[in-house]
């Protein structure tokens, strides 16, 4: 029988990846990075980094009329889903997020990141590249531990790592969503990865250690509207909904999503890994 892996590593120890990863990693359990979200039309005009939204103002009759118009647009868009030839007929997640803007009273919302990965090419790129990033960190962590204690090389060991924020939407590795649905639902957002890694020594002389990693990708996005911006597909100015934010007739909120993968590979060959969803999905 395979020996029980020995837990190793000291929480908080920085992982020395020598620039080989996008994120910075440290040993230890999942630890959410300090992710900053803007407040859209409720951002303090004198401090773009102020985390506290400014107070709303009382809505007028025109604001209530605008809210009613957006309710009608939402209903019409719902009815148009799946109808061939109708514009914007495949944006179910985008409509769900907007619905929560109108009716969620600012409560956090959880969405299915698996759907983003499976239905948007950018989502698959994000998963592939963030997984590779965490694999590289896992190997660097193991090498660091072996250098400190060479006796660990002949034993199965297990450890946890957690990474810093990665911005999705502004790089080739982590591209902006390609589909209208996910552009509307999450657009640019933040992710960070955590993982439990188990390393088994080579089964044959001269072989490579085998890595098994249970990885969680954590995603979050502040859903709101921003001054000076507009919808990519329709050209509608964000200010049209920003007014709802200012008057409290719509509420910004934070979207959260996760996915999990079990990843196995031989040391030095992360590109040849096998990966499967955890939990039978």
pLDDT tens string 96-123 = 999 999 999 999 999 999 999 999 999 9
pLDDT at 95: 98
Pairing of strands 210-223, 189-200: antiparallel
Which whole number is the average pLDDT over 176-190? 97
Q: How confident is the model at residue 174 (pLDDT cuts 50, 70, 90)?
A: very high
Higher pLDDT, 203 or 175: 175
pLDDT at 3 over 90: no
Check whether 51 has a pLDDT greater than 80. yes
pLDDT in the model for residue 170: 86
**Helix, coil or strand: residue 220:** strand
Q: HEC string of 96-111?
A: HHHHHHHHCCCCCEEC
For residues 272-280, give the mean pLDDT. 90
Q: What's the pTM value of the predicted model, to 2 decimals?
A: 0.95
Is the pLDDT confidence value at 208 over 70? yes
Ramachandran assignment for 279, one of left (phi > 0), alpha (psi -120 to 50 degrees), beta (any other): left
What would the mean pLDDT of 172-191 be, rounded to a whole number?
97
User: What is the H or E stretch that residue 61 is in?
Assistant: helix 61-80
The per-residue pLDDT for 2 is: 65
Cα dihedral 170, 174, 179, 182 sign? negative
| pLDDT for 227 | 94
- Quick check: 161 and 10 in contact, CB under 8 A? no
- Nearest Cα to 32, choosing from 142, 169, 190? 190
Q: How confident is the model at residue 64 (pLDDT cuts 50, 70, 90)?
A: very high
What average pLDDT does the structure give for the chain?
96
Q: Work out the average pLDDT over 177-203.
A: 97
- Supply the pLDDT for residue 160: 98
Banded model confidence at residue 205, pLDDT cuts 50, 70, 90: confident
| Per-residue model confidence as pLDDT tens digits over 68-91 | 999 999 999 999 999 999 999 999
* pLDDT score for 280: 57
Whether the predicted pLDDT of 1 surpasses 70? no
Name the E strands within 116-209. 157-163, 166-168, 189-200
- pLDDT tens digits, 209-218: 999 999 999 9
User: 10 Å Cβ neighbour count for 122?
Assistant: 19
CB proximity list for 45: less than 8 A, separation 6 or greater? 54
Whole-angstrom distance, CA of residue 95 vs CA of residue 74: 7
């Amino acid at each position: 029988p395979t020996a029980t892996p020995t837990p190793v590593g000291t929480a908080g120890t920085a992982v020395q990846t020598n620039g080989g990863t996008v994120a910075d990693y440290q040993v230890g359990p999942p630890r959410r990075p300090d992710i900053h979200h803007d407040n859209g039309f409720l951002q303090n005009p004198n401090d773009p980094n102020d985390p506290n939204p400014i107070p709303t103002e009382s809505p007028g009759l025109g604001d209530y009329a605008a809210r009613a118009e957006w309710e009608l647009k939402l209903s019409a868009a719902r009815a148009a889903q799946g109808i061939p030839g109708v514009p914007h007929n495949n944006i179910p997640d985008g409509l769900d997020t907007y619905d929560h803007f109108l009716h969620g009273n600012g409560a956090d919302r959880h969405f299915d990141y698996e759907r983003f990965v499976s239905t948007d090419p950018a989502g698959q790129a994000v998963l592939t590249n963030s997984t590779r990033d965490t694999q590289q960190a896992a190997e660097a962590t193991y090498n660091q531990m072996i250098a400190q204690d060479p006796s660990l090389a002949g034993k199965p060991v297990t450890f946890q790592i957690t990474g810093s924020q990665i911005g999705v939407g502004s790089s080739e590795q982590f591209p902006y969503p390609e589909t209208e649905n996910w552009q509307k639902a999450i657009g640019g957002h933040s992710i960070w990865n955590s993982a439990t890694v188990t390393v088994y020594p080579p089964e044959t002389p001269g072989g490579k250690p085998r890595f098994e990693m249970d990885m969680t990708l954590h995603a979050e996005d502040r859903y709101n509207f921003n001054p000076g911006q507009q919808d990519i597909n329709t050209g509608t100015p964000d200010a049209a909904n920003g007014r709802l934010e200012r008057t409290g007739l719509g509420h910004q909120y934070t979207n959260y999503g996760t996915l999990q993968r079990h990843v196995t590979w031989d040391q030095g060959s992360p590109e040849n890994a096998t990966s499967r969803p955890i939990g039978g999905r």
